[in-house]
Amino acid sequence: MMKRRIAIIPPSLRKYRRTIIMLSIIALTVVALASIVLAQGPFPYLPPSSTENANPGPIAHPVFPILDTDGNNVLDTGNPMSTIKTCGSCHDAEFIATHSFHADMGMANMTFPGQVKNGHPWDTSPGPYGKWSPLTYRYLTPGGDGTFDLGTASWVQLFGPRHVGGGPAATDVDGTPLPQVSVTGTDPTTHVLDENGNITTWDWSKSGVEEMNCFLCHLPSPNTNARNFMLETGKFKWANTATLFGSGIVNISADGTYEWNPNAFDADGNLLPRYTKMRDPGDDACGLCHGDVYADASTTVTINGEPGHNTATTGEIFSPQRINVSGLNVAGKTSLDRAFDIHAERAVNCVDCHPSQNNPAYFRGNPDNQLSHLIFDARRMDVGAYLKEPSHEFAKGKTTQGIDDPETNNSMRDCEGCHDPYVAHDWLPYKTSHFNSLSCQSCHIPHLYAPAIQQVDWTVIGIDGNGKKVYRGINGKLDDPASLITGFVPSLAMEKQFKEDEVVSPFNMISSWYWVAGDPVRPVRQMDLKAAYLDGDHYRSDVLAVFDSNGDGALSESELRIDTPEKESLIKQNLQALGLSNPHIVAETQPYDISHDVTNSDFAVKDCTVCHSKNSRLDQPMTLASYVPGGVVPAIFGSENVANSGEIITNDDGTLAFKPDLAKEGLYIFGHSSVWWIDWLGILSFLGVLAGVSLHGGLRYYFALKTPPPHHKLKRVYMYDVYERLWHWLQALAILLLVFTGLIIHKPDMFGMFAFPNVVSVHNVLGFLLLANALLALFYNLASGEIRQYIPQPRGYFNQMMVQAQFYMNGIFKGAEHPFEKTKNRKLNPLQQITYFGLLNVLLPLQVITGTLIWGMQHWPQFDEALGGLPVLAPIHSLIAWLFASFIVMHMYLTTTGHTPLAGIKSMIEGWDEVEVPNGEPRHIEATSAKKDNTEEA
Amino acid sequence: MKNSKYIWVYGLAVTLLIIIIPIVIFAKPNDNVKKDDPWVHVTPTPVHTDHSVLMTGPYETAQDVTHACLQCHPDAAKEVQQTTHWTWLSKPVYVPERGGEYQLGKKNAINNFCIGITPNWPACTTCHVGYGWKDANFDFSENNQDSVDCLACHDNTGVYKKTKAGYPDDSVDLVAAAQSVGTPNRGNCGMCHFNGGGGNRVKHGDLDQSLLFPDKELDVHMGGYDFQCVTCHTTEHHDIRGKSISVSLDSLAAENQVACTDCHSETPHEDERINEHTDTVACQTCHIPEMARKESTKIYWDWSQAGHDLPESVHEYLKIKGSFTYEKNLVPEYRWYNETSYRYLAGDKIDPTKPTPMNYPKGDIHDPTAKIWPFKVHRGKQPYDTEYKYFLLPKTFGEGGYWTDFNWDQAFRLGAEANNLPYSGHYDFAPTEMYWPTTHMVAPKEDALQCVDCHSETGRLDWVALGYPGDPIEFGGREVSTQTVNQEGAK
């Protein structure tokens, strides 16, 4: 044993023996203990603990205290919160509030009535604070106006639910906080109209102001009901605090306002982390004001009563849900296996296309300032600076009814900012032509699947004091879930959608009728309308006497409309009795751009004949109104481009419609467009020739029966070379097929069995074949000198022509000889010469050139546009095609005028012709110089 | 010029060719070339010989029928006896985390439904593909070929029914059944696989009796194209392809598995964005948005509640089994899964304070072979030995069993003896969970998940739990390094 131990520890270390042994024992013990501990650890079958993968996840918003307007913690004061102070402790809340149209609502651009571009004579700003809309009707009275409708405080009460706060809810036009604005006269900023119609002062100190409400968009599930209640009841300063109600941060207090829940805060007075779930605004946040927007696919899409604003005006529903599983009773929904909006479905959120303008992730910069050699411009705000001063001007397009602000118009990426249409439309011929004249929306928003407003009628009011609204796209009442939603096909009109040039774009048209009165003219106040129509909660007896045609004491839908002069004059009198001067009905039709509810290729318009046919989608009229109050026909409001691209027509049944007239805008749609007189001229020439040759042929037949033609002595001549024959038949077949395919393209409805795009490509190929054949023939004729045959000789030519004409008019019936001998070197008689000269030197080149130019719309559109574009080129091409068709008839007939009817055709096939041997009579041409070896006796 | 008689034929031919060739070349219509045709891979079911004249009977016992079958199919029983349908036990498999070879099958597995088959044979072996497995002495050898149950799979009368120890029910007309034999249909497989866990729709969530007569919305293959189980679960020598991690230790990605890609291309979608997903997301994840779409399935089973005289309801409470929760249109839970799994084996120690997975899919975000899969997770509470710290296998069925006497202690003692797993005399109930990969009830493509079902604030995937920093649509997808691939390959 000793020996072995000695062997283990080398002699040199023997003096440390004890230490080594002790250390070994300790080490062994540790190992043993560790193995026991480890053995107790994860059991062999157990998966690795999921906490090993634990990941903090996306960065959360830091905690913060909630402050009141004095900057004190609300826990100490119990005051309502100030978003400007609370969020302003880190973000530049003042910057945000002053860089946001959502807060400003047009106040910054406020001007005098009548000076707003594309506005009503009484509009005072380009935004909802000052721009009157027949949909909301109430009018924000400008200072100094004679009749008082809405003061600022009433505006906030009424329209505040669709306003984020700040702007007019916090300051006056000059930026003075509202409680500090001095009360003067009946200034609408500090006055309101009470329910009795008296102008009273509004105590802004008592109501407080509504600061821009950060939480409305940045807090998940804000309480809009509580907020709206505070706004409606005039407790403006509590509106933002009310937004938090239900989250656990505030509770309702005894006086109907709110008190802070101390349990939601930590010892330092900061909100606990579970309450600070600030976020990028989700789609649902935008949907609070902008329409029916759904953030997820699992929430069933429904319509209960009036849809949200943008849904009501356009029929757009922004939801990733598929229509066939939605809660809407949509006609044919089982086949609608598509999301309401493809971008919603593909997780593209509102803020992805409408980001903050200085968001560095989306920043694009002003295109005018871009350096041409840079693909990516790194000169942009860094994230820290952005979080401090995020502009709340959001990237947007430009809509006809939206705010027209040169600085923000088209600041968002258009479709082509993300998509390359050339890559995605492999199947589409003439891509450039299509993309230059159509917006992407025209095909990719083929149908809206929700009801939208069609007609607003404020010339009458219901018992509830509101005007009537008629929706399109629904059979039945809005609030009846059994009503069938048919949706509607948008109307197409020309507008500048992101582009310099106008393109075909989809719209919903909303027509409105309302009374205006006074000088300067103003819409008649709702209050006055009520007085003119109602007596408390029922109609005035004089109104019933005129309107209630069936005498049942109630006014039905069809009775409550101004459709007779009696009704109109009664209301006019009643309004005049209220002191209104010159009340009269006016009307307008507002086009609302449709740009959501986009679908992908599966449901987009792909069938060419949708547009390229007689009933082209491009000029389908959209019904505007089922009746016309007061007989006043509206005019397009807000967009000259739309107004110019169609006209409002009255149908025979008294309904109104907007009929696009795209020809007016320079669009020529193959298969749809045509110039009537060109077609008639063409048909007449074709039929004329047909009739002429029939008559001529009939006469020939008649005379031939009467007097059998004398037998002329014939000889066989080798008339046509192989190349000439090949050229001729190639040309003949190509032209026949071109005329035929061209006819299909011109009138596809008549040839439904042919696929339009295929016919177009065949026509193009044939065209180039014809061109190549013609060029080769030109070369042949030039090189061989044969070209001379086509050139009439000036001397005596007219006489020769007359001789030939006389032959056709007279001699031919009597079996006379052909006046000009046909030889290898002189195949054409004088009439043929002039005809072919025109055909081959004028018509054919013209047809080839116009055809090539039409094809060239795809390749050099600017050049074509300079020549007048399709509206000029296409009719010329059609006319020449008609002339060609006529020529073919004539030509085919004249081939029968040889010594036998089929001799001409036979010779063009075989090359050998049988020509009359001159029988001694003087001929009108020089002696033939035909080579001897080309002739033989027949 | 004598040969000019047919010149028009040549001329016409040349002219037409000159016109047609360019048209064909330049104006050919855009045809969408079909990428791949899954039908190429589907073997049509062969027509089965009519056995009605061959199987005249009479048969006294079920074994007589098998005996008759074997006259013409002498290898059939031997083949069946090689399969797990007969052995209820796998061949030895190397288990890396245990460092040894193990065998697992229904014979010795423990789960969180009826727990284990020993010593409850006659009840459990109702579904054995044999006759007479009523105790530990059942003969699995080739000497017992007549006890192979041919009719379980081949009866086509639709009324064949097995009962205790696998014998046919008295109601079965053996001659009619024998005459009807044919290719197994959904009813044959479903007799056991739709009823796992003690009844219809209990176990799988994606297999239940609604698949007997499915519509297209329920199962696009079976309902839309009338697939039978064996259309995909193809069979050679009675060895049926396909297995699940409920009773398997080895890799499922091995050759014996059924996969969508057997017929469909790896990237069958028109949209390249969706094809980008197929390295990371199993087909099933999007194409089975919900399971149990026609009938609810059991998601919770608490054995600790058993034994009380409470009002009974098959889907809520039974005195013999405890309380349950069922759910219809169950949204799966999602885990990384490389088609191998951890497995609890009888006797493994547990931590009773935490839910013990009876099985758990292997794989994580760094594993290039792992994909995100949908699972039905069945949770429960079941008895364990508080001293030995392992799950107990009670005798539930038969004499002295819990279902007869409602005496847990006695049930555990009897179970311990039969399983040779000591019981200390002290027990309690511990939480468990069991993972069932979802693969049947594939919905039509129109009903597949859409982008926002996962990629949105309310999406159904817990990205952080899966190991992502956040939604990969914002934070980027996983990047699996080639180094990791090599390591995995080396394993």
From chain B, the residues in CB contact with A43 under 8 A are 348-351
d(CA A482, CA A464): 24
Q: In chain A, pLDDT over 70 holds for what percent of residues? A: 92
Residue A627 counted as domain residue: yes
Min Cα separation B360/chain A (Å):
6
Residue A264 counted as domain residue: yes
Note whether A886 and A740 are same-domain residues.
yes
A755 interfaces chain B, CB cutoff of 8 Å: yes
Report CB contact under 8 Å: B344, A45: yes
Among A100-104, A678-682, A706-710, B81-85, the minimum mean pLDDT is found in A706-710
Secondary structure class of A363 (helix, strand, coil)? coil
Mean pLDDT (chain A, rounded) = 86
Note whether A638 and A691 are same-domain residues.
no
Note whether A550 and A698 are same-domain residues.
no
Secondary structure class of B313 (helix, strand, coil)? strand
DSSP state string for A907-920: HHHHSEEEEEPP-S
B102 interfaces chain A, CB cutoff of 8 Å: no
pLDDT tens per residue across span A386-413:
999 999 999 988 888 887 777 788 888 8
Secondary structure class of A608 (helix, strand, coil)? helix
Note whether A468 and A591 are same-domain residues.
yes
Note whether A645 and A686 are same-domain residues.
no
Check residues A60 and A288 and name the one with the higher pLDDT: A288
Q: How many CB pairs under 8 A join A and B?
A: 132
Check residues A446 and A937 and name the one with the higher pLDDT: A446
d(CA B10, CA A938): 25
pLDDT tens per residue across span A106-116:
999 999 998 98
A186: containing domain? 82-275
Average pLDDT over every residue of A482-511: 89
Q: Which residues pair with B377 in a beta bridge?
A: B435
DSSP state string for B265-312: -SS--SSHHHHGGGGTB-HHHHH-S-B-SSS-EEEEEEGGGTT--PPP
**Per-residue confidence at A926, pLDDT binned at 50, 70, 90?**
very low
Q: Which residues pair with B364 in a beta bridge?
A: none
From chain A, the residues in CB contact with B345 under 8 A are 45
From chain A, the residues in CB contact with B451 under 8 A are 320, 345-347
Q: If you measure CA to CA, which chain A residue comes closest to B449?
A: A297
Residue A605 counted as domain residue: yes
From chain B, the residues in CB contact with A737 under 8 A are 19
Note whether A733 and A882 are same-domain residues.
yes
Residue A416 counted as domain residue: no
Total domains, chain A:
4
Average pLDDT per consecutive 10 residues, chain B (491 residues; last block may be shorter): 66 85 73 67 84 90 95 94 94 89 92 93 94 94 95 95 94 95 95 92 94 95 94 93 84 78 90 91 96 95 94 93 95 94 92 93 92 96 96 94 95 94 95 95 92 87 91 86 44 35
Note whether A30 and A154 are same-domain residues.
no
What is the predicted pLDDT for the residue at A546?
Answer: 93
Whether the per-residue pLDDT at A26 is higher than 60: the answer is yes
Note whether A639 and A690 are same-domain residues.
no
Note whether A868 and A730 are same-domain residues.
yes
Tell me which of A232, A259, A275 is where a domain ends: A275
Residue A638 counted as domain residue: yes
Note whether A138 and A266 are same-domain residues.
yes
Of B349, B362, B458, the CB nearest to A43: B349
Of A345, A733, A912, the CB nearest to B15: A733
From chain B, the residues in CB contact with A279 under 8 A are 457
Whether the per-residue pLDDT at A935 is higher than 50: the answer is no
B286 interfaces chain A, CB cutoff of 8 Å: no
Which of the residues A45, A283, A733, A934 would you substitute to probe the B interface, choosing the one with the greatest number of B C-beta atoms within 10 Å? Answer: A45
- In B163-222, the residues whose Cβ lies within 8 Å of chain A are none
d(CA A818, CA A833): 15
Q: If you measure CA to CA, which chain A residue comes closest to B357?
A: A46
DSSP state string for B204-241: -SS-SGGGTS--TTT-IIIIIH---HHHHS-EETTEE-
pTM reported for the whole predicted model:
0.80
Residue A321 counted as domain residue: no
Note whether A560 and A622 are same-domain residues.
yes
From chain B, the residues in CB contact with A426 under 8 A are 30
Q: If you measure CA to CA, which chain A residue comes closest to B3?
A: A910
From chain B, the residues in CB contact with A297 under 8 A are 450, 452-453
Report CB contact under 8 Å: A733, B16: yes
Among A117-121, A669-673, A862-866, the minimum mean pLDDT is found in A862-866
Of A47, A296, A909, the CB nearest to B452: A296
Residue A37 is which amino acid?
V
**Per-residue confidence at A919, pLDDT binned at 50, 70, 90?**
low
B272 interfaces chain A, CB cutoff of 8 Å: no
Min Cα separation A243/chain B (Å):
21
**Per-residue confidence at A442, pLDDT binned at 50, 70, 90?**
very high
d(CA B391, CA B378): 17
Report CB contact under 8 Å: B464, A339: no
Domain harbouring A753, CATH code = 1.20.950.20
Tell me which of A275, A291, A306 is where a domain ends: A275
Residue whose structure tokens are 């505070």:
A230
Whether the per-residue pLDDT at A285 is higher than 50: the answer is yes
Of A726, A758, A910, the CB nearest to B4: A910
Average pLDDT over every residue of A306-315: 93
Min Cα separation A445/chain B (Å):
20
d(CA A668, CA A869): 8
Note whether A650 and A781 are same-domain residues.
no
Other CB atoms within a 10 A radius of the CB of residue A601 amount to: 14
As a dihedral over the C-alpha atoms of residue A809, residue A813, residue A816, residue A817, rounded to 10 degrees, the angle is 70
Which of the residues A43, A293, A350, A719 would you substitute to probe the B interface, choosing the one with the greatest number of B C-beta atoms within 10 Å? Answer: A43
Check residues A793 and A764 and name the one with the higher pLDDT: A764
d(CA A265, CA A259): 13
Q: If you measure CA to CA, which chain A residue comes closest to B16?
A: A730
Q: If you measure CA to CA, which chain B residue comes closest to A41?
A: B351
In sequence order, what are the residues at sequence separation of 6 or more whose Cβ sits closer than 8 angstroms to the Cβ of residue A169? A156, A160, A163, A178, A209, A210, A211, A236
What is the predicted pLDDT for the residue at A39?
Answer: 45
**Per-residue confidence at A121, pLDDT binned at 50, 70, 90?**
very high
Q: In angstroms, what is the C-alpha Rg of chain B?
A: 28
Of B30, B357, B452, the CB nearest to A426: B30
Tokens linked to B47: 């027509």
Of A55, A220, A769, the CB nearest to B19: A769
Min Cα separation A329/chain B (Å):
19
Tokens linked to B353: 């304070």
What is the predicted pLDDT for the residue at A55?
Answer: 47
Tell me which of A255, A275, A295 is where a domain ends: A275
C-alpha neighbours within 13 Å on the C-beta side of residue A300:
9
Residue A609 counted as domain residue: yes
d(CA B138, CA A636): 91
Min Cα separation B58/chain A (Å):
52
Secondary structure class of A590 (helix, strand, coil)? strand
What is the predicted pLDDT for the residue at A717?
Answer: 78
From chain B, the residues in CB contact with A53 under 8 A are 364-365, 465, 467
Which of the residues B451, B473, B474, B475 would you substitute to probe the A interface, choosing the one with the greatest number of A C-beta atoms within 10 Å? Answer: B451
Report CB contact under 8 Å: B19, A733: yes
Q: If you measure CA to CA, which chain A residue comes closest to B96?
A: A44
Strand ranges (E), B392-467: 427-437
Report CB contact under 8 Å: A45, B343: yes
Report CB contact under 8 Å: A766, B19: yes
Check residues A333 and A935 and name the one with the higher pLDDT: A333
B473 interfaces chain A, CB cutoff of 8 Å: yes
- In A450-509, the residues whose Cβ lies within 8 Å of chain B are none
In sequence order, what are the residues at sequence separation of 6 or more whose Cβ sits closer than 8 angstroms to the Cβ of residue A401? A313, A590, A591, A592, A593, A638
**Per-residue confidence at A153, pLDDT binned at 50, 70, 90?**
very high
Of B348, B451, B470, the CB nearest to A347: B451
From chain B, the residues in CB contact with A339 under 8 A are 450
CB A572 within 8 A of CB A532: no
Which of the residues B19, B293, B351, B389 would you substitute to probe the A interface, choosing the one with the greatest number of A C-beta atoms within 10 Å? Answer: B19
From chain B, the residues in CB contact with A56 under 8 A are 464
Tokens linked to A683: 């048909």
**Per-residue confidence at A727, pLDDT binned at 50, 70, 90?**
confident
Report CB contact under 8 Å: B473, A347: yes
Residue A373 counted as domain residue: no
Q: If you measure CA to CA, which chain A residue comes closest to B28?
A: A758
What is the predicted pLDDT for the residue at A10?
Answer: 60
Report CB contact under 8 Å: A427, B30: yes
